Structures are given as structure tokens and as C-alpha cells.
Amino acid sequence: MQDFKNKIQIFTKAYLPIVGVLILILLAFLLLCFNNITSPQSMPALIAQVYFDGEYRIGEGEWHKIVKGEHISSTQGDVTLRGNLHMLAPDGEYVGIYRGDLPVAFYTDHINLTFIEGDGEPIVIDMENPLYGSTNCGVGWTAHYFTSESDETIEIIVNNPHSFGNENAIDEMLSSTAFWTGIDFEKDVLIKGETQRTVGTLLMLVAVVFLGIALFSSLIHIKSSRLIWLLGLVVLFAGSYFSYSADGVFFWSESIVTNTTVLGCSMMFYMLFVSMSISYFLKATKKVAEITVILLGAANAVCFVLPIVSNVNFYDTWVFWIAVQILANIVLIFCLAKEFINSKSRERWLYMLMTLPLFALAIDAVGTWLGAWQGGVVSQYVFVILFAIATVMVLKLIPESINAASKAKELEMEKIVLNAELAGSRISTMMSQIRPHFIYNTLGSIEQLCKLDPPKAGELVHNFAKYLRGNFGELDNPKPILMSQEMEHVHHYINIEKVRFPDMTFTFETNSDDFHIPALTIQPIVENAIKHGLMKLSRGGTINVLAYETDTAYCVSVEDDGVGFDVGALIDDRKHVGLRNIRERLKVMVNGTLDIESTLGVGTKVLITIPKEVG
């Protein structure tokens, strides 16, 4: 126990301050940089030192003038750009057609480019060409030298092999075309995504701390450790998505296939663990939510396996994943709505907040499809809000859980002590019943019957042996037994006492015996009724044992018409055949109660009540 307390003290003194400092640092960065978190599609254009001026057509359609700010769709078919590259002055004015020694940089968002200069051979920049790798699909930069004469027209054919998800790819490319000036160019691009990458890195650092806390919580058996695991994983993959969706990721991690895979996996796992976190809090609809999460996990597995066993690119599975995830979100939203209706007012705000990431994904999917933006921009903003709330929740949850774990440990120690006391109680109860005078009297009866009625003597020996076996057999039994078993033991005892007290009457009425009761409970009470009730009568007397059930409990009553006594004077239970031990064992083992009613000259009734959820 002391070792457990030492762990808690180390945890609260070392880990919690570290978590608090990290969270404060992260929140400071988020507050400073919140308005700068953007997706690649909405990134500010680089200083456009080069601009493509001319016309375009989609497929074999009509030619249209390229106008700055006017949208050109990249998902309606191949787009051909025809014209020339112009150098721009810092104020945006045309300087002249560019032909020079510096290559021109083009931003490619899941598109392939084919350059044609005059009568020269087409130069294909195909990111899915085997030269680059059959799954090299993603976002990056490519550079090309233009060597034709300045009066020759240039054609750039843009091909989108996926036809979804990058509606504004051509707009991005034209607005960000610039001279590739080597390291300086890469630094300029990287700077634009530096803030978002920093936020993502900090989120992943905080996630590692959360996961460390979750591991520690699991080791000391804190009940809420599963929730901390889920929150840590949500933060981890959200941070990964922030980092890999930042501007300039191509120059930060030059493996295009890795970038695309990490980005997709980050969003998939982020939403999966968000869904699991939501199901954690549900009550009435928990089973439906858990089945939904399992099916969602299976769909994610399909997205991972399909590119391995077929020619489908991982990026192409995203449409399938989005569709499945949105269907799962709809189910979870209905679950949250039902919980909202059935919950108390103080819990409803939690269910409302849980719907935010579900709606955010749907908004991002529609926005990306329409070309309003690309990727999980709305999901990022929603995550920042929920992260702040979840952090407060975790910081509040951890101390409470530690206190709960500490109390649970104390209760466990108390239970061990109590079990030891119960074992002593069972021995005490057994020994209180097998008194020497009872054994002597029974043996004396057997001796007399051997002379007068040998068959009856044999029957008495049989009952006496069963009685002793029942008492000694329960010494090592820490669990309650069926009422039917307890009644067998009572019958053996009664059969012994009938030999000594033939004028006493015993009746049994069992309307219910399919429940559990501590062993050696009814027999001591019957014995008590005989000794303190009927034996003080001039003759005879009746004891009735009745077992029955109500809507909420199982009941056993032992009623006699003996001399009775003053219940108010019943202070020392030890004078009444272990009543104190019986009452304690009933309370601890089956949460039962023992009540006594008695009237002088009328009789006594002992009532045992055992709640149904226990009995």
C-alpha cells in the first residue's frame, strides 16, 4: 500500500507539472498562430516572379482566356494551357517573356504535367510514371527549364489521374509559379508552413505525454486509463495531420508516397479514435456505436490492404473511406441525439460537443469536392477547440482517477481483512453449534435407540453424520450456497432434535429456494428458537420456516410460538447462537439483513431479507 502511495506522489509531483507546462506552451502557440493555420490550397501565393499568360481549354473544348483569379477546374478532364511565361516586377507588372538560366517551379497537387515547346518532344512530369514509382501520388514541386525561343508558344497539358479532391490544383499551380532559386526557394516555401508544422509537432509531443500518463494509469489500474489512451491517440494523429498538411511538406519530407500515406492514415486514425472516444461516453446506444466503430475499423483495413494486393493507389481509396466515415458519423450523430434526449441537462453539453468533429468532416468533404478548400481545414479548427476542452478534462480526470484508485486499493485491503474475519466468523459459527452437550445428548439418544429401536438409531446416526459433514464442510467455503442446500442441512438438524423433542412441531414452506444465502444461516436460527423459545414451554410448540420472494428480494422467516423475549434487551448477540456472526455474514456476503420481532408470551419471528440483484 505504501509503495502505491509513493507512486502516486511521484506521479503528482513530477508528471502533472510537466503536463501543465507543456499544455500552457502549446496553448500559447495555438493562440498566437490560430489564424495562420491554413491548407495548401488556401496558401498565399509565392511572390509570382513568373506568370503564365495565354489561354486554356478543357479536353477538346473551346479555348478561353486565362484571367487572374478566375477558376479553372482540374477535375473535368485534361486541361491544356497555351501561351508564354512572363516575368513580373515586384509591383506585378509584366516585364517580358521569360527565357533564362533558372528553372521555373510548378506546384503539383496530384496532377501530372506535360511540357511542349515549339516542335520539340513533349516532356512528361508524371508523378505516377514508373520512373518515379507507381504509387508516387501526392503534393510536391517540380522544376523545368524552358529553352525555346521567346517568340515560340509553350503548351502545358495538365492531367489529373484521380479526378477528385484537387479541384483548384491548376489555380494553385498558376498562382504560385516562380523561379526555382535553389535553397532560398525551398526556405521561402518552408517558412509558410512553419507555424502549422510547429503546432503539429507540439501536439505530437503532448500526445506522447498523454500516452505515457495512460500507460502509468493502466499499470496502477486506474479505471479511466482507456479514455486517456483514446485521447492521447486522437491528439497524436491530429498532430501528425497538422504537420503533413502544412505548406512545404515536400521540402520537409521529400518522399511523396510517404507524405500521402501519412496524411491519409493520420486523418483515418484520427476519425477512428474520435469515434471510439464518442462510443466510450455513450450509455443506451453504446452497443450500436461499438458495432459501428468495428465496421469502420474494417473499412479502414480495406483501404490499407487494397493498394497492397491490387493496382489501386492509396489516394484513390480516400473517396471510399470518406463515404464510409460519413455513414458512420450519421449513425453516431443519431446515437448522440438519443443520449442527448435521455440525459440530464448537465451532460447534454458534452454530447453536443461530440457532434462537432463529425459535422466538421462532412463540411470538409463537401468543401474539398466543391473546391472551396482542400483537406480537413474545418476539422483542424474544431480540433483546436476540442483539444483545449479535452486537456482541461484530462487534467481534472487524472487526480480524480488517482484518488479513486487509491480508495480502491484501500477497499481491497479492507476486503482482505474482512475475508479473514469472515473465515473466523464461519469457524466461530460452526463451533458455537457443535457444543459438547449437543454431541453428548445426541450420542445418548443413539445409545438408547440401539437398545429400543435399532432402525431408528441407524436413521439418527445417518442424520448426525450428515449434520457434522455439513458443518465441517462449510469451514473452507467463502461463498454463499443455494437455499435448497441450506435447507437440507436444516432438515438433518431437525431430524436429530425430533428424537429428543417428539412433541415439538416443525413445518416448512418453500415457495422459492433458487437463490444464494451464506452457509450455516438458517440452522442456527432454528436451534436458537428451540433453545430460547420452545424448551421453556411446559410442552410442545411449533417452529415454521417459510422461504418466499417479493418483487425486489428473497425472504426467509423462522417463526416460533415460544415464550418470546424483550427485543430491546437483546444487546449481546453472543448469547443467541452466533446471531452477531450471522448478521455480519449476511451483510457482507449478500447485502442481506436480519430482523427480529418478539412478544413475551406470544413468540418470536426472525426475518432474513436478501436483495434480488445479489441473491
Rounded Cα distance, 555 and 315, in Å = 67
Q: Are residues 297 and 416 in the same domain?
A: no
51 and 82 inside one domain: yes
Q: How far is CA 288 from the centre of its chain?
A: 14
In a domain, 269, yes or no: no
Domain that holds residue 340: 281-375
- What value, to the nearest 5°, has the Cα angle with vertex 378 and ends 73 and 78? 15
Q: What is the mean pLDDT of residues 417-436?
A: 55
Residue 494 has pLDDT above 60, yes or no: yes
How many Å apart are CA 144 and CA 177, to the nearest integer?
11
Name the one residue in this structure whose C-alpha cell is 526556405.
187
pLDDT at residue 493, as a whole number: 84
Nearest in space to 15 (alpha carbons), one of 392, 397, 387, 398? 398
Select from 425, 444, 464 the last residue of a domain: 425
Q: What is the phi/psi pair of residue 59, to 5°? A: 65, -130
97 and 142 both lie in a single domain = yes
Please, how many CA atoms are within 13 Å of residue 518, restricted to the half-sphere of its CB?
Answer: 29
Instruction: Summarize the chain as % helix, strand, coil (round to 5).
Output: 60, 15, 25
Question: Is residue 412 domain-resident?
Answer: yes
How many separate domains does the chain show? 4
For residue 75, is it within any domain? Answer: yes
d(Cα 569, Cα 554) in Å, to the nearest integer?
A: 28
SS3 readout for 46-114: CCCCEEEEEEEEECCCCCEECCCCCCCCCCCCCEEEEEEEEEECCCCCEEEECCCCCCEEEEEECCEEE
Note whether 442 and 584 are same-domain residues. yes
Residues in the chain: 615
| pLDDT for the residue numbered 426 | 53
| Mean pLDDT, rounded, for 141-146 | 88
Q: What is the pLDDT of residues 346-372, one digit of tens each?
A: 788 888 889 989 998 888 888 887 777
Residue 608 has pLDDT above 90, yes or no: yes
Ranking 79-93, 234-248, 321-335 by mean pLDDT, the lowest is 79-93
Position 276 in a domain: no
pLDDT (mean) for 63-91: 88
Which range in 27-31, 433-437, 536-540 is most confidently predicted, on average pLDDT? 536-540
Residue 384 dihedral angles phi and psi, to the nearest 5°: -55, -40
Torsion angle of the four alpha carbons 493, 512, 590, 472, in this order, in degrees rounded to the nearest 10:
20
* Judgement on whether residues 532 and 575 belong to the same structural domain of the protein: yes
Residues 95 and 115 in one domain: yes
Residues 115 and 139 in one domain: yes
Instruction: Out of 127-136, 206-215, 405-414, give the one with best mean pLDDT.
Output: 206-215
What DSSP state is assigned to residue 11?
I
Q: What is the pLDDT of residues 218-262, one digit of tens each?
A: 887 777 788 889 989 999 999 999 999 888 888 888 778 788 889
Q: Which residue has the cell 408470551?
A: 601
What is the per-residue pLDDT for 350?
A: 84
The domain boundary residue, chosen from 132, 161, 181: 181
**536 and 466 co-located in one domain:** yes
Q: Is the pLDDT of residue 430 over 80?
A: no
- Give 29 or 560, the one with higher predicted confidence: 560
Query: 217-251 burial, b for 16+ CB within 10 Å, e for fewer?
Result: beebebebbebbbbbbbbbbbbbbbbbbbbbbbbb
Q: Cα–chain-centroid distance for residue 290? A: 10
Burial group, residue 471, by CB count within 10 angstroms (0-12, 13-18, 19+): buried
Q: What is the dihedral of CA 32, 34, 40, 43, to 10 degrees?
A: -70
Residue for cell digits 515586384? 90
CB atoms within 10 A of CB 588: 16
Question: Residue 21's pLDDT band (boundaries 50, 70, 90)?
Answer: very low
Give the distance, in angstroms, between the CA of residue 276 and the centroid of all CA atoms in the same chain: 5
Number of other residues whose CB lies within 10 A of the CB of residue 323: 12
What is the rounded CA–CA span in Å between residue 522 and residue 510? Answer: 13
* pTM of the predicted protein model: 0.61
Buried b (16+ CB within 10 A) or exposed e, 372-394: ebbbbbbbbebbbebbeebbeeb
Look up the CATH number of the domain holding residue 596: 3.30.565.10
CA distance 464 to 470: 10
Q: Do residues 211 and 233 touch, judged by C-beta distance below 8 A? A: yes
Q: Distance of CA 549 to CAs 38, 535, 555, 588, 613, Å?
A: 68, 31, 6, 21, 12
DSSP category for residue 534:
I
**Does residue 156 fall inside a structural domain?**
yes
More confident: 264 or 96: 264
Q: Are residues 311 and 442 in the same domain?
A: no
Other Cβ atoms less than 10 A from the Cβ of 333: the count is: 17
Name residue 39's amino acid: S
Indicate the residue among 181, 215, 232 that finishes a domain: 181
Edge-to-edge order in the sheet of strand 542-549? 505-510, 542-549, 553-560, 603-611, 593-599
Q: What is the pLDDT of residue 4?
A: 47
Contacts of 298-304 with CB under 8 Å at 24 or more apart are 299/324, 299/325, 300/268, 300/269, 300/272, 303/264, 303/268, 304/265
Inside any domain, residue 29? yes
Over residues 108-126, mean pLDDT = 85
Q: In this predicted model, what pLDDT tens digit does every residue of 566-595 receive, in sequence order?
A: 776 665 544 554 677 788 888 888 889 999
What rounded mean pLDDT belongs to the chain? 79
Claim to verify: residue 85 and residue 213 sit in the same structural domain = no
**Which of the two residues, 130 and 195, has the higher pLDDT score?**
195
Task: Report the alpha-carbon distance of residue 48 to residue 406 in Å, rounded.
Answer: 63
- Higher-confidence residue: 208 or 118? 208
Q: What is the CA radius of gyration of the chain?
A: 41
Residue 45: pLDDT above 50?
no
Q: Flag whether pLDDT at 462 surpasses 60.
A: yes
**Whether residues 221 and 100 fall in one domain:** no
* Predicted confidence band of residue 42 (pLDDT cuts 50, 70, 90): very low
**Burial of 295 (C-beta count, 10 Å sphere; 0-12/13-18/19+):** middle
Residue 523 lies in a domain: yes
Give the span between the Cα atoms of 504 and 527, in whole angstroms: 13
Q: Are residues 502 and 556 in the same domain?
A: yes
Q: Is residue 550 part of a domain?
A: yes
pLDDT, tens digit, 9 for 90 and up, residues 508-550: 998 888 888 888 888 888 888 888 888 888 888 899 999 999 8
